[in-house]
Amino acid sequence: MKRQKLVLLLIILGILVVQLNGTKPYELEVHAQGNTEDVEAELNKLLTSMPKLKGSLAGISIRDQSSGQVVYEQMAHTRLAPASNLKLLTAAAALSVLGSDYTFDTVIYTDGKLVNGVLSGDLYVKGKGDTTLLQSDLENIAKSLHDKGIKKINGSIIGDASWYDDVPYSIDLAWSDESTYYGAPVSGLTMSPDKEYDAGTILIKASPGANAGNPAKLTIKPSVSNLDIANRTSTVNKDGKEDIQSVRKHGEDSITIKGDIPVGSGATKSWVAIENPPELVLNVFQQALTNQGITWTGEVKEGITPELSTPIHVHKSLPLSKIVVPFLKLSNNTIGETLLKELGKVEKGEGSFEKGVAVLKEQMKKFGLDTSGMLIRDGSGISPIDLITANDLSTLLFCIQKEAWFSDYEKALPVSGNKDRMIGGTLRNRLQSENTLGKVKAKTGTLSAVSSLSGYVESKSGKSYIFSIMLNHLIDESSGKMMEDQIVELLASH
């Protein structure tokens, strides 16, 4: 009798444990129902046939897209460096918290009064994280001020970047990456040179001179006259080698363009991060004011907008639904770090990496992820210290499908084999077979010794899968891309 009571008690306790475990949000099946043995066997065979996986770490999680059930996993619960696959978390958190229609404002304030065309007081340009601000936008702002009747400013032009804190870089960014477009500084007051929106950079276009021996012709965007740029290039014979390089002196906005470019060859393009984005914005803006015939008596400098200042013009960025397109398709790091700081500013009152990460983790909990096992240092994935699991990524990609903003998220993912840069993105030259062309929507990721790919694939049979592949400790990241593609090709063939 005692034995029967003990068995009954154990059964009741077991039921309670199951019920308690079942209260987790977005609870997913661990094992898929139905016939997945073929996929599992083929994947195991494929992975064992990859010699370049030897000695590396491969975290793989594959789910049925409709049910979320696990089809295959290998080291799926092991923390690995995601590289730019971390952007999948940042984009989801930003769309969830801010919404698809959210915009980043650049506001013009004054603490003076306008009388007979003269503004007696300072003019403030307060940035609020608009990475899509272009030279043409600043020119339109200047025209708007002219149209309001401003002809002269008895005061200074002041740029205000205080919307975020004064930490411009991810804490783990390498010193040597600070002049690269992917390591550009984050600022509340910044701008981009073109519609790829690499904020905090300038675009340098080098074209060959008419004859060998001539320097290359340089075109700079945004076009401002006071950039410190040295042209050390040379045009060489048409059979020469092109090796144009743009180098910025660390800690300064002093840029040297050097190297050779053959006669008759096409132009080269390079994006170089600048040291001080607010200064660049002010340089472009003062030139725009001058072009409108507006003069001023004071300085052009950085500062803080007084609380009692009056807004006289508001420029709105593209909506977030459009900003996530270059963010995910082109893997734009500066947008990622800006979105992270904006999350901190909106939810915690502080535009910092730390507060942004806190908000991001809160959102991941909402989607059923166990954030206690994550290590997140930034919003772009450029930190080699970022650590998440393949299961985290596949869980997220399943759970967000029910969100109202998911269509914007999905549209922002690179599409396999599509040559349009703003559609195919970083997958435009990958997965181009009959089975995969246009059938894969996924985010790529690359760091030294790291390669990753996570997203959605539609198979030949019409069945769709969610997959996350994270490869670490690779000797050559490019081999990781080939292995990822083989795995996705296998899924697409079913």
Catalytic residues: 84, 87, 331
Q: How far apart are CA 228 and CA 328, in angstroms?
A: 32
Give the gyration radius of the chain's Cα atoms: 26
Q: Which residues pair with 454 in a beta bridge?
A: 443, 468
**How many residues are there in the chain?**
494
Q: Dump strand ranges (E) for 136-185.
A: 152-154, 157-160
Run of H or E including 190:
none
| Biggest distance spanned by C-alpha atoms of the chain | 103
Lookup result for tokens 């870089």: 169
**Under 8 Å between Cβ of 397 and 466:** yes
**Under 8 Å between Cβ of 343 and 104:** no
Lookup result for tokens 């906005």: 253
Helices (H) and strands (E) in the chain — how many of each?
Answer: 12, 20
- Dihedral sign computed on CA atoms, order 392, 82, 457, 425: positive
Residue 168 makes CB contacts below 8 A (sequence gap 6+) with 185, 186, 187
Half-sphere exposure of 50 (CA within 13 A, CB side): 24
For residue 377, give both structure tokens. 């240092």
Report CA 147 to chain centroid distance, whole Å: 36
Q: How far apart are CA 44 and CA 47, in angstroms?
A: 5
End-to-end CA distance of the chain: 55
Q: How far apart are CA 261 and CA 454, in angstroms?
A: 38
| Dihedrals phi, psi of 457, to nearest 5 degrees | -140, 135
**Under 8 Å between Cβ of 454 and 444:** no
